[in-house]
Structure 1
Amino acid sequence: MAGPTTEFWQDRFQKKETGWDRGNASPQLLAWLDSGELTPCRIAVPGCGSGWEVVELVHRGFEVVAIDYTAAAIEKTQANLLSKGLKAEVIQADVLTYHPTKPFDAIYEQTCLCAIHPEHWLEYTQQLHHWLKPEGSLWVLYMQMIRPAASEEGVIHGPPYHCDINAMRALFSEKAWIWPSPPYIKVDHPNLSHELAVRLVRR
């Protein structure tokens, strides 16, 4: 399998080299929740990491299934839930092979896609489509990490991998997903670059 292994991510957690981790829930998730756009439902959080978004969603009344294939991430998510007296289904699994017991109403995708080597993006996108109910929503933050070697020489550089919005429009095609009209919300990240926030609806 091309790209980072579970051992790679385990090592990053153990060395506390987790620059993607804000230390709390994404401000964009909070904005979607506070606005009433995203309301309690059965939701998946792939690549849950330390589980900040999982905790927030459970606190707000969602039925959450958190997925990560790194033991350290699972442990951190469970610890963060326990510290708040909250419970969720936390699963150690590979998102490329995971199959839910029943479809989800929504998926919150923040740092999973950009952590997967682009060679596996199509497979992952198909998984997300399969996981959702028809007309279910994918609340996604596309990581923008523009690097000279990538844009000028075609080097595949990551993680995090740059999720070019034109590439995302092709990957999450209109045949399978309903896209809103741009411009999309720019979400600054304190340690990385920024993300583009989009809600897609499964056809």
Structure 2
Amino acid sequence: MAFLDKDYWTKRYATGKTGWDIGYASPPLVQYLDQIQNKTIEVLVPGAGSGFEAAYAWDAGFKNIHLLDFSNVPLLRFKASNPNFPLTQIHQQNFFDHEGSYDLILEQTFFCALDLSLRTTYALKMQSLLKPGGKLAGVWFAREFDFDGPPFGGKIGEYKQLFEKYFEVKMISPCYNSIPERLGSEVFMILENSKI
């Protein structure tokens, strides 16, 4: 699948075709992070791209935050912009090959980059990376697109049906603080790994 190929994403970055990259940390994730008191938790941002959410979290005191991307191009930019960020917490690899144990995983335009056939695999992998009681939180598109993705859209009902098999759905609601271009087309979810 071409869109899962490292070269595909590297080419998108090299040609500037990065519509998912808004140039700063996503407001819904910023607001969510601002509510977390315990800054020692282990956090992962998969499909992190330029890593704006990771940079924000780091500056806010989350020192155990990791970012992961398939392509080295955005990760090199991140390293240049964040020279004090630990290199051991920057992962260039396929998300599905990543191993770790996290209290929180942030979702921001990663799920929508994956082919529809991988959605159950995504849910299972997220569950395996989360500690018991750990949370997967962030924004998902709550709309369909009239072109072949990525991005790939979806509906709240579909997400609920998928994720409630693997998580306790703590919150699923329309996102009220999306960027203007996405207002009305995103849902914010908090999913808890209840597997003991």
Please report the TM-score for the alignment, with normalisation by the length of structure 2: 0.87
Name the residue aligned to 1:104.
Answer: 102
Residues 58/201 of structure 1: CA separation in 2 closer, same or farther (3 Å cut): same
Cα-to-partner distance string for 1:6-28 (whole Å, 9 max, x where unaligned): 21111110011111111000101
Helix, strand or coil: the match of 2:96? coil
Name the residue aligned to 1:95.
Answer: 95
Q: Which amino acid aligns with 1:90?
A: I
Helix, strand or coil: the match of 1:48? coil
Residues 183/195 of structure 1: CA separation in 2 closer, same or farther (3 Å cut): closer
Give unmatched runs, 5+ long, in structure 2.
none
Work out the number of aligned pairs and report it. Answer: 190
Name the residue aligned to 2:168.
Answer: 178
Residues 201/44 of structure 1: CA separation in 2 closer, same or farther (3 Å cut): same
CA RMSD of aligned residues (A): 2.1
The answer to whether the 8 Å contact 1:52/1:80 transfers is no
Name the residue aligned to 2:129.
Answer: 131
Residue 201 in 1 paired to residue 183 in 2? no
Residues 133/190 of structure 1: CA separation in 2 closer, same or farther (3 Å cut): same
In structure 1, what is the Cα distance between the partners aligned to 2:150 and 2:167? Answer: 25
Helix, strand or coil: the match of 1:198? strand
Deviation of the 1:199 alpha carbon: 1.2
The answer to whether the 8 Å contact 2:48/2:69 transfers is yes
Helix, strand or coil: the match of 1:199? strand
In structure 2, what is the Cα distance between the partners aligned to 1:164 and 1:9? Answer: 25
Structure-to-structure mapping, 1:39-188, within 5 angstroms: 39-40=38-39, 41-62=41-62, 63-82=64-83, 85-87=84-86, 89-100=89-100, 103-148=101-146, 157-173=148-164, 175-180=165-170, 182-188=172-178
Deviation of the 1:148 alpha carbon: 4.5
Helix, strand or coil: the match of 2:170? coil
Cα-to-partner distance string for 1:81-128 (whole Å, 9 max, x where unaligned): 22xx4336101110112112xx11110111111111111111111110
Residues 148/49 of structure 1: CA separation in 2 closer, same or farther (3 Å cut): closer
The answer to whether the 8 Å contact 1:6/1:70 transfers is yes
In structure 2, what is the Cα distance between the partners aligned to 1:67 and 1:190? Answer: 27
In structure 2, what is the Cα distance between the partners aligned to 1:38 and 1:69? Answer: 30
Helix, strand or coil: the match of 1:16? coil
In structure 1, what is the Cα distance between the partners aligned to 2:179 and 2:144? Answer: 14
Residue 17 in 1 paired to residue 17 in 2? yes
Please report the TM-score for the alignment, with normalisation by the length of structure 1: 0.84
Runs of 4+ in 1 over 4 A off after TM superposition: 190-193
Residues 49/144 of structure 1: CA separation in 2 closer, same or farther (3 Å cut): same
In structure 2, what is the Cα distance between the partners aligned to 1:124 and 1:54? Answer: 20
Give unmatched runs, 5+ long, in structure 1.
150-156
Helix, strand or coil: the match of 2:120? helix
In structure 2, what is the Cα distance between the partners aligned to 1:197 and 1:181? Answer: 7
The answer to whether the 8 Å contact 1:51/1:80 transfers is no
